[in-house]
Structure 1
């Protein structure tokens, strides 16, 4: 594995914080099966993470001292580990994005766009919701809860789908995405447990979390698709060949990573849903052994 790994669990949470150090300087330009289309699809996804994961951290931190959860020692330890893992994800994706930037792919601009989309949307939703008692903290935490479900779901699909894994032909990138996927599933319930602890499980909480997921998925799809098209166009790779490869990878009914997420994404709309209802314990055990964690 092309990374130095320092595993810590000093906060006593149920999952550790792994401090990674990938060497992205040796990653080729088109690291995913030599395909510009597939590489840019994943780069467009990676461009969402630095600003997105900072938003997740800020949203959970903003409410961790809420009276309903501040004395919950176990949950506070999980929050600390969640913040640690997300901070490491941000660090490594910033490093990867910088390596893509060196090849002339303008990921820096996409990162700034991501932050602008997040800040504009969260402020707008808080303004719209204010008359019915929806605060900025509620908007931020429900959006984080929804997006954490998305990241955990796409992560588990990546770990389950052999077609996707076979396309990740560069070992550094394959390991980076597998590590990220493992940790997204390890901490998938933290933001949700914070949300339930603060806002409960009533009708209003259900409407908030499901409405947030619907809105977040629309914005995420539009943003990532725009990033992908922009990267392809700048690289003069916006052509039928690239689009066919992207369709087969992401959206084909039989093996697409996005279409494969459908059932688990819809589970979020079930009343009484909890992220741990989607059992990934065995999957994570297998992959942690593969990566030597």
Structure 2
């Protein structure tokens, strides 16, 4: 591992904030098994993170002092650690995205597009839902819970799918994605607990959180696919071989990272669902030991 890990757990939360400081200077252009297609797939995903994780932080921070939460000391600790971890994820993905930019891949523009999509979608959804008593804070927070379920689920795939791990042939990038995956599972319940702590449960809120997942996943698929096609086209790699590799990596029924998420993603629609219903404790302990945390 090329990063010196500085762990900060002064908040006393159940998970720490790790400052990694990865060095992306030596990361090759096509760091994923020498494949332009697979590398661009992951770069298109990474382009979503800086603006996306800032949105997560802003959504939770906006309500953390709500009367229903302000005296919940344990949850306040978790919120602080959640914000810290997401801030570190943003920092490292900004660093990687900058390294891709130096190879001539225009990730900076994609980052700007991500922010525009987030802001446009959240405001539109709040406007549509306002007549039934749904506020902007509710929209933002329930979108965060939906996207946190997605990130925790894809993180579990990265940590369990040996085929995917073998394709991550650059150790810096493999460590970055596995570190990110660990932390997404460590804090996967925080936004959900904040949402339920303020707004509670019930049919209306079930409809809100499940519809938010549908909208978030449809938007995410369209945006990431557009980013991928744009990166491939700019790099003159939009061809059959690249698309075949991407299909095998992401969508093949037997080993694809996206297709493998289906069962866990659908659990979000179960009434009474909670992120901690998916027990990843042993998996995280294994990977924390592997990475020397």
Same fold (TM over 0.5): yes
What do the CA deviations read for 1:1-49 (whole angstroms, capped 9, x no partner)?
Answer: 1111101100000000001100000000000000000000000000000
Structure 2 residue aligned with 1:243? 243
Q: Secondary structure at the match of 1:279?
A: coil
Rounded to whole Å, the distance in 1 between the matches of 2:105 and 2:158 is 24
- Residues 165-244 of structure 1 correspond to what in structure 2 (within 5 A)? 165-244=165-244
Unaligned segments of structure 1, at least 5 residues: none
Match of 2:13 in 1: 13
Partner of 2:102: 102
Count of residue pairs the alignment pairs up: 293
Q: Deviations 1:140-187 (Å, cap 9, x if unpaired)? A: 000000000000000001100000000000000000000000000000
Q: Partners of 1:290 and 1:4 in 2: how far apart? A: 15
CA offset at residue 205 of structure 1?
A: 1.2
Q: Distance in 2 between matches of 1:106 and 1:11?
A: 37
Q: Secondary structure at the match of 1:56?
A: helix
Q: Distance in 2 between matches of 1:262 and 1:84?
A: 29
1:93 aligns with 2:76: no
Task: Indicate the residue corresponding to 1:2 in structure 2.
Answer: 2
How far did residue 68 of structure 1 move? Answer: 0.9
How far apart, in 1, do the equivalents of 2:199 and 2:43 lie?
35
- Cα deviation for residue 139 of structure 1 reads 0.4
Q: What is the deviation of 1:267? A: 0.3
Q: 1: CA distance between counterparts of 2:201 and 2:281?
A: 25
Q: Report the 3-state secondary structure (helix = DSSP H, G, I; strand = E; otherwise coil) of the residue aligned with 2:25.
A: helix
Note the 1:103-118 alignment, pairs <5 A. Answer: 103-118=103-118
C-alpha displacement of 1:201: 1.3
**What TM-score does the superposition give when structure 2 sets the normalisation length?**
1.00
Cα deviation, 1:91-124, whole Å, max 9, x if unaligned, reads 0000000000000000000000000000000000
Name the counterpart of 2:43: 43
Structure-1 residue corresponding to 2:124: 124
Whether 1:80 aligns to 2:73 is: no
- Which whole-Å deviations, capped at 9, do the CAs of 1:191-228 have from their partners, x for residues lacking one? 00001101111111111110100000000000000000
Q: Report the alpha carbon displacement of residue 54 of structure 1 after superposing the two structures with TM.
A: 0.1
What's the CA shift for 1:56?
0.1
Tell me which residue corresponds to 1:287: 287
Aligned-pair Cα RMSD in Å: 0.4
- Give the distance between the partners of 2:5 and 2:196, measured in 1 at CA: 33
How much has 1:238 moved relative to structure 2? 0.1
Which runs of 5 or more structure 2 residues have no equivalent in the other structure?
none
Equivalent residue, structure 1, for 2:142: 142
Q: Distance in 1 between matches of 2:85 and 2:121?
A: 25
Q: List, as ranges, runs of 4+ consecutive aligned residues in structure 1 with deviation greater than 6 Å.
A: none
